[in-house]
Amino acid sequence: MIVQRERAPPDLVTVGAFRYHEFMMITENVKTRFAPSPTGLLHLGNVRTALFNALLAQRSAGRFLLRIEDTDQERSRAEYVEALQDDLRWLGLDWQEGPGVGGPQAPYAQSERSTVYARFYQQLEAAERVYPCFCSPAELALSRKAQLASGRPPRYAGTCARLGEGERQTRIARGAAPTLRFRVPAGQAVEFGDLVRGAQRFSSDDIGDFVIRRADGTPQFFFANAVDDALMAITHVLRGEDHLANTPRQLLLLEALDLPAPRYGHLALIVGSDGGPLSKRAGDLSVRELRASGYLPEALLNYLARLGHAYARDVWMDPAELAANFSTEHLGRAPARYDEAQLLHWQSEAIRHATADRLWEWAGARERVPAGSGADFIEAVRANIRFPADVAFWAERLFGAELAPSDDSKAIIREAGSAFFEHALAAYERHGVAYPPLVAELRQLTGLKGKPLFMPLRAALTGETHGPELARILALLPPETVRRRLRACH
Ligand code: GLU
């Protein structure tokens, strides 16, 4: 029986035939990894996996590694390898070992590690834990269909497990390219403590012999993933729940290879806002798209760190705080539901916490805003913006040559009457940007206070009935603009 214990003695030890890392977080050198397959852009789902692993490493003063799982030659693309690194860097999820950084187990792209894997195929061959399989995809599909039709779970029927050495050699001599299958031992219980889902138990009898090397010589996922985790000394693996059924296979493989296994935690998947699978309409968004639409990385981090993980306090946290307060114990088992309103909430929070310089860079509204007023402008509109388009809107509203007031504003201006604006202009000429005395004087001249006093002023100066603080607007607007806009209402 394979049992992965909750807590193991220090360092690597052997328990039965199985070796373990020391799992006590305080003394252990925690090392986590993100191991994406570069078959597409990073989406909310896989980037959350990256984040959780990065947070776990960071909070344990450990290391975070990036490994590119590009063994599927047909679906892997170099541009996705680039894109995912770029996206991770943009999010601030830097890796301490991996592509571009290097490390003791380089290379970090699985397509470049075939010589590493060759050693382990040989080890398994020598121990007769694997055998070549000559079954064609068509034969396998047929067998699968037959098993399903008779109500059995589809599993490799074991056809090639029984071939004699002579028969194998003959087929190879005839030019057949076999896959390499792992011989799953019969009657074993495979148990492990999942970091999220608790105790797990599988029977090896439910697992058919599985392919570890494809006919073209490339490694199969189970194999390369497990071998690399062991060689790269990964201690904790947080990954999607869709991999849960792979874990017993990987533990069996590691046992056969006498390699240490990491602790696994399988994360509940993210579902769309409609409760169904993530879809284009309901939350299946790439980091690229979110970035292009103006989300700030810290907003995504604050949102994703709470998607299936609970913090005691629901307040804004910077990346270091997100890490310090992260715990695998707070990972939920229930599917996490994508909620755009929450994402928008964290975007507003990110804007509230960003420096004016940063927002100025992000907004790209340069042309409209008078030179030297960038920071003041950002401070004025900070509470009214969520995306660069909002910044552009206010830049146009405040500094555009032509002001076309909204219908509401027009009504308010009309109602206030031209005398109001004559007084406003007089008060402005007297006090300029000194807002309190200006308002005091206008109050005196018009006998108005509160909304009836401020609204017409706002409508005349910005063409809107809501927006940034009037005092800030007045200070920002060039005097000529203030005069022109007040006069236009006479
Ligand atoms: N390449 C696998 C994936 O992208 C990695 C699975 C794992 O994290 O172990 O799903």
Rg (CA), the chain: 31
Q: How far is the CA of 35 from the centre of ligand 1 (A)?
A: 5
For residue 282, the model assigns a pLDDT of 67
Tell whether the model's pLDDT for residue 365 goes beyond 90.
Answer: no
In tens, the pLDDT along 81-91 reads 999 999 999 99
Q: How confident is the model at residue 278 (pLDDT cuts 50, 70, 90)?
A: confident
Q: How far is the CA of 224 from the centre of ligand 1 (A)?
A: 11
Q: How confident is the model at residue 3 (pLDDT cuts 50, 70, 90)?
A: low
Q: Which of 225, 229, 237 for mutating ligand 1's site (highest number of atoms within 8 Å of CB)?
A: 225
- Closest alpha carbon to 78 in 37, 38, 47, 41: 38
Kindly state the tokens that stand for 439: 């308002």
Of 14-28, 314-328, 354-368, 370-384, the range with the lowest mean pLDDT is: 14-28
Size of the chain in residues: 490
Q: Which atom of ligand 1 is nearest to the CA of 225?
A: 9
Tell whether the model's pLDDT for residue 252 goes beyond 90.
Answer: yes
Q: Which atom of ligand 1 is nearest to the CA of 49?
A: 8
Q: How far is the CA of 239 from the centre of ligand 1 (A)?
A: 7
Contacts of 338 (CB under 8 A, 6+ apart): 44, 270, 271, 272, 273, 278, 282, 283, 307
Cβ(298) to ligand 1 under 6 A? no
Given phi > 0 = left and psi -120 to 50 = alpha, else beta, which region is 7?
Answer: beta
Cβ(69) to ligand 1 under 6 A? yes
Q: Which atom of ligand 1 is nearest to the CA of 229?
A: 9
Q: What is the model's pTM?
A: 0.90
Q: Can you list the positions of beta strands (E) in 163-292?
A: 179-182, 189-194, 198-203, 210-213, 236-240, 263-267, 270-271
Q: How far is the CA of 129 from the centre of ligand 1 (A)?
A: 24
Helix axes 407-416, 451-462, angle to 10 degrees: 120
What are the backbone dihedrals phi and psi of residue 449, each rounded to the nearest 5 degrees, phi first? -150, 170
In tens, the pLDDT along 311-344 reads 999 999 999 999 999 999 999 999 999 999 999 9
Cβ(220) to ligand 1 under 6 A? no
Tell whether the model's pLDDT for residue 131 goes beyond 60.
Answer: yes
Q: How far is the CA of 217 from the centre of ligand 1 (A)?
A: 20
Q: Which atom of ligand 1 is nearest to the CA of 36?
A: 4
Complete domains list, the chain, with CATH: 287-354 (1.10.1160.10), 358-487 (1.10.10.350)
- The answer to whether 111 and 67 have CB atoms below 8 angstroms apart is no
| Mean per-residue pLDDT, 162-166 | 95
